[in-house]
C-alpha cells in the first residue's frame, strides 16, 4: 500500500514538474516568434525608401528628370568596356572624374558592395494580398485577407537576394569622405548608379561605346 502511494506521489510530482516546464517552454517559443516578427518588421521598415524607389522605377514618368540625368543604367545582358556582369556579379569602372563634383584632380577608389534584389521583397506581399482577396471572396470571409497577406512578408524577407558589385571610381580631396555617391541599386536585371555630377553619365557612356572589352 505504501509502495502504491509512493508511486502515485512520484507520478504526480513528475506530472507537476512537467506542467511547470510548459509555461517556460511556451515563453521561449513566444519570445522566438516575437523576435522573428520584429526582425521581419525591422527589415521592411528600414527599406521603405528603397522599396518606394523600386516601385517608382516601374513608372519612369514619376521619376525626376533631374535625377535621371545623374543615373547610369546598366543591363546584365550588355557588356561594355567599363561594365560587365557574370555569375560573380557586376564589375564597373567609372570615369576618372570625382564621382561627386566631376573634378578631374582626384584619386581612385575601389570597393565591393552587396546590393539587395528587392523584387521578391515586394512581389511576395503583393501576391499574398491578391491570393488573400481571392480566398476571402470564395469563403465569404474578409478575415482571410489580413491572415493570408501577412504571410507574404516573411516569404519576401527570405527570398530577398543579393548581388555583388565591384566598382572603381574617383574622388577629389574635397569629397574624400563624402558617402552619398555613388548611390547604387538593383532593379530587375539592371544596375543603377547615381552620381553627383551629370556629366559623369555622358562620359561613362562615351567610354563604354568607344572602347572594346570589359573591365577586370
pLDDT at 15: 44
112 and 164 inside one domain: yes
Query: pLDDT tens, 31-52?
Result: 888 999 999 999 999 999 999 9
79 and 164 in a common domain: yes
Specify whether 18 is located in the same domain as 77: no
Per-residue cell: 99: 564621382
- The answer to whether residues 109 and 7 belong to one domain is no
Q: If pLDDT is split at 50, 70 and 90, which confidence band does 121 have?
A: very high
Q: Are residues 42 and 73 both part of a single domain?
A: no
Pair 99, 42 in one domain = no
Is a pLDDT exceeding 80 seen at residue 174? Answer: yes
Assess if residue 38 is contained within a domain: yes
Does residue 14 carry a pLDDT above 60? no
Q: What is the pLDDT of residue 5?
A: 44
C-alpha separations of 81 from 31, 129, 146, 188, 193 in Å: 53, 43, 49, 22, 16
* Residue 205 near residue 82, CB atoms below 8 Å: no
Does 153 fall in a domain? Answer: no
pLDDT of 13 > 60? The answer is: no
Q: What percent of the chain has pLDDT over 70?
A: 84
Q: What is the torsion angle, in degrees rounded to the nearest 10, for the CA atoms of residue 74, residue 75, residue 79 and residue 80?
A: -20
130 lies in some domain? no
Average pLDDT for 169-198:
91
Q: What is the 3-state secondary structure (H, E, C) of the chain?
A: CHHHHHHHHHHHHHHHHHHHHHHHHHHHHHHHHHHHHHHHHHHHHCCHHHHHHHHHHCCHHHCCHHHHCCEEEEECCCCECCEEEECCEEEEEEEEEECCCCCCCCEEEEEEEEEEECHHHHHHHHHHHHHHHHHHHHHCCCCHHHHHHCCHHHHHHHHCEEEEEEEEEEECHHHCCCCCCCEEEEECCEEEEECCCCHHHHHHHHHHHHCCCCCC
For the chain, how many structural domains are there in total?
Answer: 2
Q: How many CB atoms lie within 10 A of CB 167?
A: 21
Report field, pTM of the whole predicted structure over 0.85: no
pLDDT tens across 20-35, in order? 444 667 788 888 889 9
Mean pLDDT of 92-107: 91
In this structure, the answer to whether residues 20 and 87 fall within a common structural domain is: no
Mean predicted confidence (pLDDT) in 76-86: 88
The CA-to-CA distance between both ends of the chain, in Å, stands at 87
For residue 8, the model assigns a pLDDT of 42
Same domain? 98 vs 28: no
Does residue 26 share a domain with residue 77? no
Over residues 119-147, the mean pLDDT reads 92
Residue 216's pLDDT band, with cuts at 50, 70 and 90, is: low
Residue 6, pLDDT above cutoff 70: no
Residue 17 has pLDDT above 50, yes or no: no
Average pLDDT score over residue span 6-18: 44
Domain holding 194, by residue range, is: 68-118+160-210
Amino acid at each position: 500500500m505504501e509502495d502504491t502511494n509512493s508511486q502515485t506521489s512520484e507520478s504526480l510530482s513528475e506530472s507537476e514538474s512537467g506542467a511547470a516546464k510548459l509555461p517556460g517552454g511556451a515563453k521561449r517559443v513566444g519570445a522566438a516568434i516575437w523576435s522573428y516578427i520584429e526582425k521581419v518588421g525591422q527589415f521592411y521598415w528600414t527599406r521603405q525608401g528603397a522599396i518606394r524607389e523600386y516601385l517608382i522605377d516601374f513608372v519612369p514618368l514619376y521619376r525626376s528628370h533631374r535625377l535621371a540625368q545623374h543615373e547610369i543604367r546598366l543591363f546584365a545582358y550588355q557588356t561594355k568596356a567599363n561594365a560587365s556582369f557574370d555569375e560573380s556579379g557586376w564589375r564597373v569602372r567609372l570615369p576618372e572624374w570625382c564621382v561627386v563634383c566631376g573634378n578631374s584632380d582626384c584619386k581612385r577608389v575601389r570597393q565591393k558592395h552587396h546590393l539587395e534584389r528587392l523584387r521578391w521583397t515586394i512581389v511576395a506581399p503583393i501576391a499574398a494580398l491578391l491570393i488573400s482577396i481571392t480566398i476571402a471572396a470564395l469563403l465569404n470571409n474578409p478575415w482571410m485577407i489580413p491572415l493570408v497577406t501577412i504571410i507574404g512578408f516573411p516569404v519576401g524577407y527570405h527570398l530577398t537576394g543579393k548581388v555583388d558589385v565591384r566598382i572603381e571610381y574617383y574622388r577629389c580631396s574635397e569629397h574624400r569622405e563624402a558617402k552619398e555617391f555613388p548611390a547604387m541599386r538593383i532593379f530587375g536585371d539592371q544596375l543603377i548608379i547615381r552620381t553627383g555630377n551629370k556629366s559623369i553619365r555622358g562620359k561613362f557612356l562615351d567610354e563604354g561605346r568607344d572602347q572594346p572589352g570589359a573591365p577586370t
